[in-house]
Chains A and B, each alone.
Chain A
């Protein structure tokens, strides 16, 4: 097995390294700069410096996964969330459930591969083989059982255009004579798919470095020769130090401007009431606009062969609502919400998972430290709600009781570009995007944003999938 530098329980026998070198044994070295390529290593909690509850978290994570992965090391900025996240993930992958273990990992691979997330694919390829999966399946979806191949279409739609999901798709999976899915299995698969789609968003959104034992995660070369990995090349990050954005005079007051706006919104909301038509058009505008938020780096990257073999039809990506003349009916959250409907359906078919997801959504939505950058005692609920609703807005999900004008006030363009990229085409996220939004904010706050993004995205996908399943059932 390969030594990991981040074992929480046993410190690596550093003294052994010179000895091993003398013996001619090649020692892998991590190529990244800590768990994330976006966040300076020094800002990330060092293993060993954690406090007792965090240590317990690390230990649990290590016990469950047999590793302490970089996602965990970044998420630990928010231990309360991390705990819920790990608990859910552990339940989905290892505890009682309708799907066999190797299926679960394979579905994880399928989902992550949709976003060409080699980090997650590599992790789960290892896990998949570890639980006794057939290596042949890894040569591509066409080598997997027909049953899993059938899931490909759902995976594709969920990842990129969940609003197109209809009960016919569900029927196709459940009603085929052979290789059909049971409802419980399908729910399990849907939760896994959405979990890994959004985790892929997190991986790219926070620039998670490859694990040391995975491809691209280690090198046997001496450290001075090379210090970038293939992912950097693919994403246009040539070297880590290249784009150090220095705070400009404008961005210094960024935070204050934002806070001022929040205050204004809070106050003037009671005075001036927008008309009903105005409210409706605001949502439509935001929805429409979210497609014009274009990517600063429209660099088409060819997916590495290793990842692309897990899915077909690479051209099928996130498409904006009206771009192809499709009319997408607005999804009214008041008619189908997670709390009232989604939860009940999931919990009915896959007991306990509804509860776990409910907790996770709740924690992510309500997480706050009452701080904004250097300011304390700030009520950030308005900002968090704007981010959450903006993401749902991109998926066509509308809250009747929300004034979408607030989004325009609170989220500036670079932030919207980042959100849009991470949620819809995470593989195109670059370090520049990450650096250019909210420059004054702390790294932990940027990770917090990512938590909101992935949970909102997961809930949006789940809502569409569960609504289709409900419609199939009635």
Chain B
């Protein structure tokens, strides 16, 4: 902890000073409480009950309150509280149901003062009245809350929670007579201390037990509650019905909540299980804690702000047997590590992207661009001047990208899916057919691959090399881009379009293609000459476009380089740092000849060449030596992986199905399953239900195969009473009527039922078919002109 800070705060007469520090306790702590002078803290647990002085550099043990030879369960504390009026007065709640008060002013070693044994079960919470010296409140597992007058031997009043266990009780800080109680069943009750017969108000705050609550120190109407359902909720109690005004979702059940002094919207929480950290939330910003203390190694059981009016010192006790003083300056602030970015698709394929303004402008190479004022939109939140602890400036930039409708077309996918034949014919025919389909769609590499597969796996000697050359010679027209986004109203002055041209021109010289007849497949990707810093406006689109380059051997530039596809998420923030900066135009010039851009060509050459090989030579040996198809398995496997990598999972799965056992063993089940699920998902997005079902049927993965066996139930409602029919399809349980009678034979239809969507009459499939052959009217006689197609 090298970053420890020393903080000094002057509060009235007192000065609080200190640093982040801790001390080992002998046993796990269950609760802690602080003396009103902020100089002492009491720690209580099953096997510990001690008072520590908080000094500048360390905690010093001052007093051990566990005295006596035999450890008594009365010392086994579930909760402890230090009176805020009288610094000699403490109260503890014991796990065996006893409430004990302690008077530090006693001269003897044993400081135990009074013993109240009225509760029958564990007492979960004790609470002193904020202004009354002698008034103590307790809440117990037995479902009762009791109010004690410390001058009397017994409780003065008992409040019944109707046998629901009480988890927390807290006196209101401002309303003299009011206290809040939280319950295991999720309810919160408000009581008037003078009226033990009935609660004033009750509402359900959480799903499951409400472990804790805390009144806001300033705002009289606010009550924060924390529950097992992992929520912290802030309730406004001023209105007639308690209104939830803030809600924070944490990651584990909430054990304690404590409002931060002097900060209206800040609240500290710790959790009951799994999560050991202490969080301080700004309730207005519920998704990310504004500060976090990560020191504890086991769950934190007690948190308390050191001084009533000091927001910088937090004390905590934990099951890991340590007592900590946390300094706010040493807190980790998750917001610093977070990338506040959002990415979302609209219904029509538009993409919106929002990022923190500072994040974008911090990149000095990227100069802001001003386009149309409508897009991108820029928001800035005014900082609240009253909020002195607001250290995060929240301003962000939002960009909206429109889909180019034309280039986003996935026609080829749909047509391919529909026309491919995956089974039912000999392999050679399947391959030929699919190759033809691909060629039809100008997807030459795919066509080539099919032809290759046919050569490898079916009997040799049927394919001439001329045929091969022919099939690949045609492919120069580029495919429609799969997904391409253009920033709305993009200006040509940006320099991006010229870049786009460059990349196209450079990588697709047509004459080279014609020369390369000796090369069939080149699995090594071409270089797209992308430095990581290059503006990436066309990157999304180039995936599919490059496909036909992939089998071109570039003789001029034999070292084909590994292509790097940059993910769209990475691409956007780099490119579109749009800041509300009027001087931006000046920088456009700089951008054009920035060293990053000009360096690209050089980089291309320097990249490591990847070994490439020509498949045609292997094909030759196939004819001569009759290599078994197994020989090619690694290559075919690589080919499948390649297509999957490219995002063309359609090809991968189709080949997988067509080849079946020939290749299946080469690829591990999980990868196959992954491919299948991706392809099926795509098919279903295009509503190609039949094809997706066919793929499921043809798949050899068990996990996939069972997909179309799930939820095969068809739920129907009774035609009579419109309620769902639960047991049988033909008789309704409720109205005891046979629901589906055949309009022709007037018998119950138990099998296939066909009905007219116009008049909703119907019957046995056969009967209706026959009937409508001879008549055009509904057999039920309703007069509707039905049609059977």
Q: What is the chain B residue whose CB lies nearest that of A381?
A: B163
Interface residues of B, CB < 8 Å — how many?
34
- B119-138 residues with Cβ-Cβ distance < 8 A to A are 119-122
Confirm or deny: B141 has a beta carbon within 8 angstroms of a beta carbon on chain A.
Answer: yes
Pick the most buried of B78, B272, B273: most chain A CB atoms within 10 A of its CB.
Answer: B273
User: When the two chains form their complex, are residues A279 and B73 in contact, meaning their CB atoms are under 8 A apart?
Assistant: yes
CA A9 to CA B73, docked complex, whole Å: 57
Flag whether B72 is at the interface (Cβ < 8 A). Answer: yes
Q: Which of A337-356 contact B (CB under 8 A)?
A: 339-341, 343-345, 348
Question: Are the CB atoms of B46 and A332 closer together than 8 Å?
Answer: yes
- A276–B209 contact, CB under 8 A? no
Across the interface, do A345 and B273 meet the contact criterion of CB distance under 8 Å? yes
> Would B141 and A335 count as touching, CB distance under 8 A?
no
Known: A9-B727, A334-B78, A400-B73. A344 touches B298 (CB 8 A): no
Q: Residue on A with the closest CB to B298?
A: A474
Judged by a CB distance under 8 angstroms, whether A291 is at the interface is no
Interface residue from A269, A280, A335, A343 paired with B228 (Cβ < 8 Å): A343
Shortest CB distance B713–A (Å)? 10
CB neighbours of B208 from chain A (8 A): 343, 358
Measured CB to CB, the closest approach of chain B to A286, in angstroms, equals 16
Contact in complex: B96, A279 (CB < 8 Å)? yes
**In the bound complex, CA of A206 to CA of B95 (Å):** 36
Considering only residues 64-105 of chain B, those with a C-beta below 8 Å from chain A are 70, 72-74, 76, 78, 94-97
> Could you tell me the distance between the alpha carbons of A358 and B184 in the complex, rounded to whole angstroms?
12
Residue A255, interface by CB 8 Å? no
Q: Give the chain A neighbours of B95 by CB distance below 8 A.
A: 332, 334, 400-401
CB-CB under 8 A from A400, the residues of chain B are 73, 76, 94-97, 122
In the bound complex, do residue A344 and residue B73 qualify as a contact, i.e. CB atoms below 8 Å apart? no
Q: State whether A344 touches B96 (Cβ < 8 A).
A: no
| Contact among A9, A280, A339, A474 with B184 in the assembled complex (CB-CB below 8 Å) | A339
User: Who on chain A is nearest to B165 by CB?
Assistant: A339
| A470 interface hit (Cβ, 8 Å) | yes
Which residues on A sit within 8 Å (CB–CB) of B117?
A: 273
Q: Are A474 and B297 in contact (CB under 8 A)?
A: yes
Within 8 A of B (CB), among A391-430: 400-401
Contact of A473 with B by CB under 8 A: yes
Known interface pairs A273-B117, A276-B70; A473-B96 also in contact (CB < 8 Å) = no
Is B146 in the interface zone, CB < 8 Å from A?
A: no
Whether, in the assembled complex, B253 has its beta carbon less than 8 Å from a beta carbon of chain A, the answer is: yes
B276: interface (CB < 8 Å): yes
Tell me whether A340 and B74 are in contact in the complex, defined as CB-CB below 8 angstroms, given that A348-B252, A400-B96, A401-B96 are known contacts.
no
Q: Is B335 an interface residue (CB 8 A)?
A: no
User: Once the chains bind, are B141 and A401 in contact (CB under 8 Å)?
Assistant: yes
Nearest A residue to B251, CB-CB:
A348
Write the nearest CB–CB distance from B247 to chain A, whole angstroms: 19
Q: A9-B727, A59-B727, A273-B117 are in contact. Are A470 and B76 (CB under 8 A)?
A: no
**Distance between B112 CB and nearest chain A CB, rounded to angstroms:** 13
Question: Of the candidates B141, B273, B276, B727, which one forms a contact with A341 in the assembled complex, judged by CB atoms under 8 Å apart?
Answer: B273
The contact of A470 among B141, B273, B727, by CB within 8 Å, is: B273
Main secondary structure of the interface of A (DSSP, over half): helix
Separation of A59 and B725 alpha carbons in the complex (Å): 13
| Alpha-carbon separation in the docked complex, A379 to B635 (Å) | 78
CA distance A276 to B95 in the complex (A): 12
Contact pick for A340, options B96, B272, B276, CB 8 Å:
B272
Distance of B320 from chain A, by nearest CB (Å):
8
Complex interface: chain A residues within 8 A of B211 (CB) = 340
Q: CA A273 – CA B98 in complex, angstroms?
A: 12
The total number of A-B Cβ pairs within 8 Å is 71
Instruction: Write out, one digit per residue, whether chain A residues 461-474 have a CB within 8 A of any chain B CB (1) or not (0).
Output: 00000000010011
Question: Does the CB pair B72–A401 fall under 8 Å?
Answer: no
Given A276-B70, A276-B74, A348-B252, check contact A335 B96 (CB 8 Å).
no
Task: Write out the residue numbers on chain B whose beta carbons fall within 8 Å of the beta carbon of A358.
Answer: 208
| B contact residues around A377 at 8 Å (CB) | none
Query: Is B245 an interface position by the 8 A CB rule?
Result: no
Complex interface residues of chain A between 318 and 369 (CB less than 8 A to chain B): 332, 334-335, 339-341, 343-345, 348, 358
Contact between A345 and B274 (Cβ–Cβ < 8 Å)?
yes
Instruction: Tell me the bound Cα distance from A143 to B4 in angstroms.
Output: 58
A269 to B118, CA, bound (A): 10
Q: Return the chain A residue nearest B76 by Cβ.
A: A400
Other-chain contact of B46, A334, A339, A348 (Cβ < 8 Å) = A334
- CB-based contact B273/A401 at 8 Å: no
A473 touches B272 (CB 8 A): no
0/1 per residue, B688-707, Cβ < 8 Å to A?
Answer: 00000000000000000000
- Contact across chains for A344 and B46 when beta carbons are under 8 A apart: no
A344/B253 in contact, CB under 8 A? yes
Q: Which residues of A contact B228 (CB under 8 A)?
A: 339-340, 343-344
A267 contacts B by Cβ under 8 Å: no
**Contact between A401 and B253, CB atoms less than 8 A apart:** no
A277 at the interface (CB under 8 A from B): yes
- Residues on A with C-beta less than 8 A from B70 are 276-277
Q: Is B9 an interface residue (CB 8 A)?
A: no
Whether the Cβ atoms of A276 and B274 lie closer than 8 Å is: no
Chain A residue with Cβ nearest B118: A270
Within 8 A of A (CB), among B50-76: 70, 72-74, 76
Q: Which residues on A sit within 8 Å (CB–CB) of B72?
A: 276-277
CB distance from B729 to the nearest CB of A (A): 13
User: Closest CB-CB distance, A266 to chain B, in whole Å?
Assistant: 10
Neighbouring A residues of B297 by C-beta, 8 Å: 474
The answer to whether B273 touches A344 (Cβ under 8 A) is yes
Is B726 at the interface (CB under 8 A from chain A)? yes
Let me know if B121 and A401 touch, CB within 8 A: yes
Give CA–CA (A312, B184) in the complex, Å: 43
CB distance from A453 to the nearest CB of B (A): 22
Q: List residues 251-282 of chain A with CB under 8 A from any CB of chain B.
A: 269, 273, 276-277, 279-280
Q: Name the 8 nearest CB pairs between A and B, nearest first.
A: A400-B95, A344-B273, A276-B72, A334-B95, A400-B96, A401-B121, A401-B97, A344-B253
- 5 examples of A-B residue contacts, CB within 8 angstroms: A339-B209, A341-B273, A344-B253, A344-B274, A358-B208
Extra pairs beyond A339-B228, A400-B73, A473-B274 (20, CB < 8 Å): A276-B70, A276-B72, A276-B73, A276-B74, A276-B96, A277-B70, A334-B46, A334-B95, A339-B209, A340-B209, A340-B211, A340-B273, A343-B228, A344-B252, A344-B273, A348-B252, A400-B94, A400-B96, A401-B141, A470-B274
